[in-house]
Amino acid sequence: MIKIKDLMASIEDKQILNGINLNINPGEVHVIMGRNGSGKSTLANVIAGNEAYEVEKGSILMNNENITEMSIENRALNGIFLCFQYPVAIPGVSMAYFLRSALNAHLEHQGKEEIDALEFLKNSKKILNELGLDDSFLKRAINDGFSGGEKKKSEILQLLSINPKLAVLDETDSGLDVDALRTVAKGVNKFKNKNNAVLIITHYQRLLNYIKPDIVHLMIDGKIVKTGDMSLVEKVENDGYSWLEK
């Protein structure tokens, strides 16, 4: 689904990614773990096309199409979805208006008709219900005054509504209590199927107690230094990352 080759990227002339190679197939759940500052979130942002970062070398292919130079919205429309670590507030813009605009942008891109208001409401309420959120959530201004848990649930609501091909979860587990963590995990598990893929970026094992990854990568200084299975997660929980450094 997504092939990242030898990717190097920087922000404000500071080199962050030092040659990332990553290949995610449909149906797979990948995890990238690493210390603070190892470049995990940068990778998420570069995949989404955040223009604050400069790609210096390498390429990102999405379904064999080179998207390295593609605009943010076109990547999104081609199926890349980023669950933000810190979703930004847009005062005065209701969740419903925002989500419907986003959905319609996707539908238009797929050559489909816009979703009518009733159907939109019906679908959204169903998802809200599953996430334990009240219907009134749709009327609130997006992320404005949301609690930490509400922000992340809002991201999952959008993930389930838009139903992309690749979901990149950037530290979606941070700042969540156990109940919220379970709800978020339930949402992600509901999303994943054999045709889409999930990339989880995290510090901790705790989300992985609920979402089982197929492949685990460890990242140090902007490079993936080790790839393996779930046992790597346990090793990191017990021993940290220093054993990976020479």
Residues that bind another protein (CB under 8 A): 48-52, 71-73, 76-77, 81-82, 84, 87-88, 90-93, 97-98, 101-102, 105-106, 109, 141, 158, 162
Report the nearest approach of another protein to the CB of residue 178 (Å): 27
Contacts of 182 (CB under 8 A, 6+ apart): 210
Residue closer to another protein by CB (options 131, 142) is 142
Largest CA distance in the chain: 59
CA–CA gap between residue 106 and residue 102 (Å, rounded):
6
- Minimal distance in Å, beta carbon 165 to another protein? 13
Q: Which is nearer to another protein, 88 or 118 (CB)?
A: 88
Residue 72 phi, psi (nearest 5): -60, -50
Least distance from another protein to the Cβ atom of residue 99, Å:
8
Which positions ≥6 away from 219 have C-beta within 8 Å?
A: 32, 33, 34, 38, 39, 40, 43, 225
- Minimal distance in Å, beta carbon 51 to another protein? 5
Partnered with residue 3 across adjacent β-strands are: 23, 61
Alpha helices (H) along the chain: 40-48, 72-77, 95-109, 117-130, 148-162, 178-191, 230-239
Q: Among residues 155 and 173, whose Cβ is nearest to another protein?
A: 155
Q: How far is the CB of 209 from another protein (least distance, A)?
A: 28
> In terms of CB distance, is 81 or 146 closer to another protein?
81
- Of 44 and 176, CB closest to another protein: 44
Which residues, at least 6 apart from 146, have a Cβ–Cβ distance to it below 8 Å?
87, 89, 140, 154
Kindly state the smallest distance separating residue 237's Cβ from another protein, in Å. 31
Cα–Cα distance between 133 and 202 in angstroms, integer?
25
173: left (phi over 0), alpha (psi -120 to 50) or beta: alpha
Nearer to another protein, 71 or 193 (CB): 71
Q: Closest distance between another protein and the C-beta of residue 102, in Å?
A: 4
Would you say 45 or 202 has its CB closer to another protein? Answer: 45
